[in-house]
Amino acid sequence: MRLVFVLLALVVAPSGAFAASNFTRHNAPGPNAVGLKVVEQYDFSRGYRGETDVETGKPITGERARPIQTLIWYPATKGSGRSLTVGDYVKLGVTADDFEHAPAERGAMQAKFAAAQVATLPPTRAKAELAAPMSARLDAAPASGKFPVVIYAPSFNAEAYENADLCEYLASHGYLVIASPSFGQASRGMTTDLEGVEAQVRDIEFLIGYAHGLPRADTSRLAVAGYSWGGLANAMAAAKDGRIRALVTLDGSVRYWPNIVKQSQYLTPARVTAPMLYIAAAPKSVEDTAADVNRDQSFLAKMKYADLYKVTMYPYVHANFSVMFGQRLKGDYGAYDKDELSIANGWVETYVLRFLDGYLKGDGAARAFLDMPVAKTGAPRHLLAIDVTKSTGAPPTRAAFAAELNRVGFDKALATYQAFKTRDPGFEIDETELNRWGYQRLAAGDTHMAVGVLKLAADLHPDSWNAFDSLGEAYAADGDKASAIAAYSRSVVLNPKNANGEAQLKALGAKP
């Protein structure tokens, strides 16, 4: 893996002559200083650019593997590293997927890019925003210890630093936060389809793997946070990876793209068991809501096997969840003023921190806070609302079914299967899977388990000659000759051409 560490230069220097930033931090940072490291690396397991540029048609030169610009916020020792401004973050966007520029060329590109991001602001305000100081210090010496890991997945086509304020805040409270940009499968442009979001899922998976190589990362305590499109990708990642222990979703698209949830097939409530904090924008009117966004389609409404905390921020529209772009670098704040939005952001940070402390650090007081009515949290009552739904227990999955059989006995397979079906009518293990499972147990020498599984197959499929043929083999291996004969006999009745069944009956001393 080729790593390139970027030394940032100031876009503009802070100056007391400039107006203040429109964003005000209301929460004091945690006890840790914060460091930032920027790593330019590639996921060589995936391609990114084709042979020619999709816009110019010119041949592509240089590395064609997927670039992963990686930002790492971490607890640091005080006084080390170089201070950063908003402008230092913003200019990272210009080379987010192209690392092969000489320093002089890169500097000119970055300055131009940063200026473009504030082009709609009055000049004084633009300077103030770019010069606003941030908490992190570049390449600061890391603090000792190991820290829980939070992977941050940005919104549609957004930069890794879109919520740098939140990432810094979490790092100050003892978290290691890692983010990369939201790019499409084969170009910087993200696409609103399954291929696009799965590209971001793969990025999350890459960052989880990368975290395992960091000496300060405690990957046994892992969460994934995501905003908008990233709040669909993080749920999909959790459906595939049970190591993810918590999900933070900032007005996530898991709520707004039911068609992609359906297309994925694997993003189901039974596979998302990590607790979720979903912080939503103010609800839209019925007239403004898409026809396919309703309770019947909602993934959140179907979640049963994970604790779900839904916090609605009434001052927020969707864009406000990115502090960097929705609040710092934007001039229009809608129906609320900048100070009200800054206060709201403080409560977003509070809920995110309490949620992660509760589920990754085992903090009982933090868990209790999440269950409090808004009136008891100290938040203004008009600011937010919270709705809590607790898990109904372990989901009825294939893995959970095996665990339950291990507990109660494989001879109780049918009753256990029926109990799982009662809990979730969609639970099913087809005959082919049961047959494969049974033969795996036979090959491992677990003949009693094999009998239980293959008898379940025969019970569920009483007209299947193959199910009874397999069951006969399991009984014979388990030393139950009478039951083996009965199973093979039933198989031959169902399929008189079953030559194997007839041969096995003869070998057992029975008439076909």
pLDDT digits (tens, 9 = 90+) for 344-370: 999 999 999 999 999 999 999 999 999
For the stretch 121-143, pLDDT in tens is 889 989 999 999 999 999 999 99
Please give the domain boundaries of the chain with CATH numbers for all domains: 4-389 (3.40.50.1820), 398-507 (1.25.40.10)
Q: For 221-260, give the DSSP string.
A: EEEEEEETTHHHHHHHHHHH-TTEEEEEEES-TTTT-HHH
Average pLDDT over residues 147-170: 97
The rounded distance, in Å, linking the Cα atoms of 179 and 220 is 18
| Residues 410-423, mean pLDDT to the nearest whole number | 95
Residues contacting 115, CB < 8 A, separation 6+:
126
Q: Higher confidence at residue 424 or residue 169?
A: 169
pLDDT tens for residues 451-481?
999 999 999 999 999 999 999 999 999 999 9
Whether the CB-CB separation of 325 and 158 falls below 8 Å is answered with yes
CB 4 within 8 A of CB 99: yes
pLDDT of res. 285: 59
Of the pLDDT bands very low, low, confident and very high (cuts 50, 70, 90), residue 13 is: very low
pLDDT score for 15: 40
Least confident of 125-134, 196-205, 328-337, 500-509: 328-337
The residues near 8 (Cβ < 8 Å, ≥ 6 apart) are 38, 82, 84, 88, 91, 92, 138
Reported residue count of the chain is 512
**Phi and psi at residue 117, to the nearest 5°:** -70, -20
Lowest mean pLDDT among 50-64, 118-132, 171-185, 249-263: 50-64
For residue 331, the model assigns a pLDDT of 62
Give the per-residue pLDDT at 287: 47
Asked if the model's pLDDT at residue 229 lies above 80, the reply is: yes
Q: Is the pLDDT of residue 291 over 70?
A: no
CA distances (Å), origin 466, targets 338, 375, 449, 476, 509: 70, 63, 18, 15, 21
- Residue whose C-alpha is closest to residue 318's, from 355, 279, 356, 350: 279
Average pLDDT, the chain: 91
pLDDT at 23 over 50: yes
Of 354, 262, 271, nearest in space to 309 by CA: 354
Least confident of 12-21, 68-77, 241-250, 487-496: 12-21
Phi and psi of 449, rounded to 5°? -65, -40
CA distance 426 to 305: 14
Q: What is the pTM of this model?
A: 0.87
Contact status, residue 141 vs residue 81, Cβ threshold 8 Å:
yes
Q: Which helix (H) or strand (E) holds 152?
A: strand 147-153
pLDDT of residue 406: 96
Find tokens 């029975």 and name the residue.
510
pLDDT for 9: 37
Give 435-457 pLDDT, tens digit per residue. Answer: 999 999 999 999 999 999 999 99
pLDDT at 184 over 70: yes
Please give the full DSSP string across 386-452, using - where no structure is assigned.
EEEE---SS---HHHHHHHHHHH-GGGHHHHHHHHHHH-TT----HHHHHHHHHHHHHTT-HHHHHH
Instruction: Please check whether residue 68 is in contact with residue 203, taking contact to mean a CB–CB distance below 8 angstroms.
Output: yes
